[in-house]
Structure 1
Amino acid sequence: MTKRIVLVAAALLSVLLAGCGGGGDGAASVPPPESPASCSVADQRAWLRNYLNEQYLFYANQGTPNEAATSIDAYFQSLLYKPVDRYSYSQPTAQYAQFFTEGRQTGYGYSLTYADAAQTMLKVRYVEPASPVAAAGLQRGETIVSIDGYTPAQIVAGSPAPVTAAGVPRSFTVTNAAGATRSFTVNSADYPLTPVPINTVYSIPAAGGGTAKVGYLLYSQFISGSSAALGAAIDNFRAAGVTELVVDMRYNGGGSTGVARNLASMIGGSALNSQTFAQFRYNDKLSANNFALAFTSAGLPAAPLEGLSRLIFITSPSTASASEILINSLKPFKTVVQIGGTTFGKPYAFQPRESCGTTFSAVNIDTVNAAGAGGFTSGLAPTCMVADDLNHALGDPAEARLAEALGYVSTGACPTGSTIVLFTPAAAKGAPETAFGEVGPKQARVD
């Protein structure tokens, strides 16, 4: 049993290291803790305690172990520094690898959010393009009447339960913008994620006169399988001669910091080569392993875009972790404009650890940019505060957040006159943007 555990852990670590070039980027990788003697409950719990005592960023403030916990995840959660640590989580290793390594997900492919301040109207926020519900015609902005017979209030409370296998039927009743109601049933499936659903170019009036060519990139997951699509998008923008770039990460919960560094390098330009992308800092027991990851021009899926003095990001409370680290990394070098809502607020990263079929993502790294700025646990506040517009498709120039970004290019200011304030439901002109349904983990992992 011990040999099997060691091999699985070593294999997972090698995959993660490969995603970011391992120590080749200057990372002094902290080795995984010694595997548990067995997969018994007692040995797994002892391993978790040792792991967190050694590598957890908040090891000095751990919670009291819940010896009555009925699962390894519940026991893990009891050890965390609450409420400060709202980030650490665990999941089956097969599920972790499926999402972050294989770029696939088992489910139906939808996420939902409230569309009114009273929190009674639940609407479709996002549909994965290659998912079962996409094939059935589910659209962003449609109103949920019921799912498997459950009302919106019951759905928000956690029903129906998430699925982990393909072939499980689920019934939907929805109403479209015209008021027509329809019902359909789909089976869950193992489907490929589409991390770059849209890349396109808009020609609009520029602030100083003439025409601005604005590249628009919708990016939803920092997974290793997204690199080719990101490279194709950057090449498309270069061929079109873009003079401005809007990166829409409103629903991007993060992922690989290696992929984030590569995207930042491509949109930041070759002048950033070898400058510090981010500094990664362990707890005081492991501070000798602290390292900096640099912007690069080597090994990218596309050559860096040149000449962009300003970068515009569309964000929301679902913009998290690696997405936030990317935005923060560019601030010492570029004019960064944020449109939308304040981000989630996760300046931390993980080095996930596997044991007995479970992968634990416990916060073990703090991050700051080249100027030493970090600590954005309250989120990164936007330049122009704009509510999400569920009445228009993503990528539609009339969609409120994209329209605001394009307006900023044309005027050099927030067209609606909004200013930097911390995100609150009232300031966002609507309901809080809590997501329900199939929502990916918020993660910045050091590969």
Structure 2
Amino acid sequence: MKKHLKILNLRKFFFLFLASGIILTACKKDDDNIPDGPNANLTVQDFMWRAMNLWYFWQADVENLDDSVKTNASSYEEFLATENDPGEFFDNQLLFNEDRFSFYSEDYKELTQALSGISKSNGLEFGLVRFQGSDDIFGYVRYIVPGSDAATKNIARGDLFTGVNGQTLNIDNYTDLLFGDADTYTLNMADIANNTVTPNDEEVTLTKQPNLAENPVFLSKSFDINGEKIGYLVYNGFTNEYDEDLNNAFGDLKAAGVNHLVLDLRYNPGGSVNTARLLASMIYGTNTSNLFLRQRWNAKVQSQLNKEQLEDYFSDKTGDGSTINTLNLDKVYILATGSTASASELVINGLTPYMDVVHIGEATRGKNEFSITMVDDPEGSFIFNPDRENEINSNNQWAIQPLVGRNENADGFSDYTEGLVPDIELQEDLADLGILGDQNEPFLARAIQEITGASGKRDFSVRVPAEVMTSSKMFGPIKDNMVLDKPLDLKFQ
């Protein structure tokens, strides 16, 4: 589903862009002579090739992206015409076979609006599970976005549904029914009886709202349990528009005197690299001499970057200049599942060299590359920059979001494409999903047990495991992407 989008914050230039005065001798538009008008797709595909040839992380591993492809003008144009649809050209001709995450959009304006944190949504966040031995699927509600249409309806975390508009959900129709063009749909609800999901007669009608913005700082609270002060934070997306809210939440936890933290990233698919750095600083500390991550690019880009540009350190200030509210912990408990990806995984990996990270849940998604937004602006090195929007080719509205690099931690580790493995395995139980923030909710209860050492008689066996096939997040603005938001001053020779 490469057409789905991810959030960036335009207000703070949540993009990698190049400073003015950049020299890029290899990408002059007037050298190409690719036609517009009836053959406009060649213009789009020419832009895609040139951008990928320069920036793509696996450029050297994709034969079609070799510099020699463009040597002969006629054969190059024939290559561009191998696919009639630019999307198919991007997917079939330009991507490395191990790339699961690069994608495109037919309208860069639509993309960048969504990437600013604004989307059309009914506020229902859910997971989708396939019935064993069947093509039918069902959904379970993970949480409701405050202020959304779903927040006004009789639906809550843990509720189940098996159909939409009277049609049973299956592997072939769920995308159109749940994520299609219809702004309003009716869910056909279900219950669990004898550990079996069974439809009932209840219905809930939901309507998508334009311009719905979700604050990812969903819940923050503290507990006094057996003499331990435990902080709990549900964080659902790395959107730098809300960095101050995140820092304020840590300020409240710090004021409450918490000496343990349970960070819930179960439903967090990622986002801003810089926000991940700030969150890690809020957890561990603000020593700006400690390396948080080091970037790895393709050979073309890597050779142009110096140590300062390639490395990011823990921070003592937010982007707005506020002092980081750090807990200065030496141990953190992170709740994570297969829906935990990119910037969430970056936090786990980046903290591991410095502190004890106790991962409770399931293996994470395994998204360890970052991306940038590219448009048809050769003089701007194809990197979307809102200050250069007038320079974008007016005959080409397409954008691409390719993977361009990988982040490694201070120990040099970045190889977690199979996901980060939990220290304590636990699946969500659809028969006992619990209430977020309730200390009896199974995942939080397991973390509390680990902190306090009081095993008691709590049974953490799972009756109806949530074997998640996909989730609503994978069809939303943020998806499972990690976006580098660090300005670099590059001059390609």
Give the alignment's TM-score, normalised by structure 1: 0.82
Corresponding residue pairs, total: 417
C-alpha separation in 1, matches of 2:239 and 2:27: 25
C-alpha separation in 2, matches of 1:278 and 1:189: 38
* DSSP-derived class of the 2:185 partner: strand
C-alpha separation in 2, matches of 1:324 and 1:123: 24
Q: Please, which runs of 5 or more residues in structure 1 have no aligned partner?
A: 1-11, 206-210, 419-425
The farther-off stretch of 72-81 and 407-416 is 407-416
Tell me what 2:256 maps to: 240
Quick check: 2:142–2:157 contact (8 Å CA) kept in 1?
Answer: yes
Structure 2 CA distance for partners of 1:313 and 1:402, relative to 1, 3 Å: same
- Residue 437 of structure 1: how far off its partner (Å): 3.7
Match of 2:442 among 397, 400, 403: 400
Q: Which amino acid aligns with 2:436?
A: L
- Residue 163 of structure 1: how far off its partner (Å): 4.5
Match of 2:337 among 299, 316, 322: 316
Q: Which amino acid aligns with 1:139?
A: A
C-alpha separation in 2, matches of 1:203 and 1:136: 33
Match of 1:216 among 208, 232, 253: 232
Tell me what 2:317 maps to: 298
Match of 2:413 among 360, 373, 377: 373
Match of 1:432 among 467, 470, 487: 467
Match of 1:338 among 359, 378, 387: 359
2:317 paired with 1:307: no
2:269 paired with 1:269: no
Tell me what 1:9 maps to: none
C-alpha separation in 2, matches of 1:46 and 1:315: 40
Q: Which has the higher contact order (CA 8 A, sep 6+)?
A: 2
Tell me what 1:148 maps to: 165
Quick check: 1:309–1:334 contact (8 Å CA) kept in 2?
Answer: yes
Tell me what 1:184 maps to: 204
Tell me what 2:223 maps to: 202
Match of 2:141 among 124, 130, 138: 124
Match of 1:109 among 123, 128, 133: 123
Quick check: 1:232–1:302 contact (8 Å CA) kept in 2?
Answer: no
* DSSP-derived class of the 2:202 partner: strand
Match of 2:190 among 175, 181, 199: 175
C-alpha separation in 2, matches of 1:252 and 1:29: 38
Cα displacement string for residues 161-195 of structure 1 (whole angstroms, at most 9, x for unaligned residues): 6246xx82211221357996422323221212121
C-alpha separation in 2, matches of 1:315 and 1:140: 18
* DSSP-derived class of the 2:468 partner: coil
Tell me what 1:3 maps to: none
Tell me what 1:61 maps to: 61
C-alpha separation in 2, matches of 1:109 and 1:14: 20
C-alpha separation in 1, matches of 2:363 and 2:283: 22
C-alpha separation in 1, matches of 2:341 and 2:399: 20
Q: Which amino acid aligns with 1:257?
A: V
Q: Which amino acid aligns with 2:175?
A: G
Q: Which amino acid aligns with 2:91?
A: Q
Cα displacement string for residues 313-356 of structure 1 (whole angstroms, at most 9, x for unaligned residues): 11111111111111111111111110111110011111221343
- Residue 160 of structure 1: how far off its partner (Å): 1.2
Tell which structure's C-alpha radius of gyration is larger: 2
Tell me what 2:88 maps to: 74
Quick check: 2:15–2:372 contact (8 Å CA) kept in 1?
Answer: no
The farther-off stretch of 301-310 and 41-50 is 301-310
Quick check: 2:48–2:400 contact (8 Å CA) kept in 1?
Answer: no
Structure 2 CA distance for partners of 1:347 and 1:232, relative to 1, 3 Å: same
* DSSP-derived class of the 1:234 partner: helix
* DSSP-derived class of the 2:271 partner: strand
C-alpha separation in 2, matches of 1:183 and 1:146: 10
Structure 2 CA distance for partners of 1:194 and 1:137, relative to 1, 3 Å: farther
Tell me what 1:252 maps to: 268
Tell me what 1:18 maps to: 13
- Residue 284 of structure 1: how far off its partner (Å): 1.0
Structure 2 CA distance for partners of 1:170 and 1:31, relative to 1, 3 Å: farther
Tell me what 1:388 maps to: 428
Quick check: 1:282–1:289 contact (8 Å CA) kept in 2?
Answer: no
Tell me what 1:97 maps to: 112
- Residue 23 of structure 1: how far off its partner (Å): 8.6
C-alpha separation in 2, matches of 1:332 and 1:297: 19
Quick check: 1:163–1:188 contact (8 Å CA) kept in 2?
Answer: no
- Residue 42 of structure 1: how far off its partner (Å): 0.6
Structure 2 CA distance for partners of 1:415 and 1:283, relative to 1, 3 Å: farther
C-alpha separation in 2, matches of 1:137 and 1:409: 35
- Residue 33 of structure 1: how far off its partner (Å): 6.3
Match of 2:179 among 149, 162, 165: 162
The farther-off stretch of 376-385 and 219-228 is 219-228
Tell me what 1:6 maps to: none
* DSSP-derived class of the 1:79 partner: helix
C-alpha separation in 1, matches of 2:145 and 2:360: 23
Tell me what 1:8 maps to: none
Structure 2 CA distance for partners of 1:109 and 1:368, relative to 1, 3 Å: same
C-alpha separation in 2, matches of 1:413 and 1:279: 40
Structure 2 CA distance for partners of 1:417 and 1:148, relative to 1, 3 Å: closer
Cα displacement string for residues 105-146 of structure 1 (whole angstroms, at most 9, x for unaligned residues): 212233232286557543223332332222223212211131
C-alpha separation in 2, matches of 1:198 and 1:412: 25
Q: Please, which runs of 5 or more residues in structure 2 have no aligned partner?
A: 1-6, 65-78, 194-198, 377-395, 486-493
* DSSP-derived class of the 1:226 partner: helix
C-alpha separation in 2, matches of 1:429 and 1:172: 21
Cα displacement string for residues 189-210 of structure 1 (whole angstroms, at most 9, x for unaligned residues): 12121211101112222xxxxx
Cα displacement string for residues 61-110 of structure 1 (whole angstroms, at most 9, x for unaligned residues): 33767856454322211134454100111234334333432x22212233
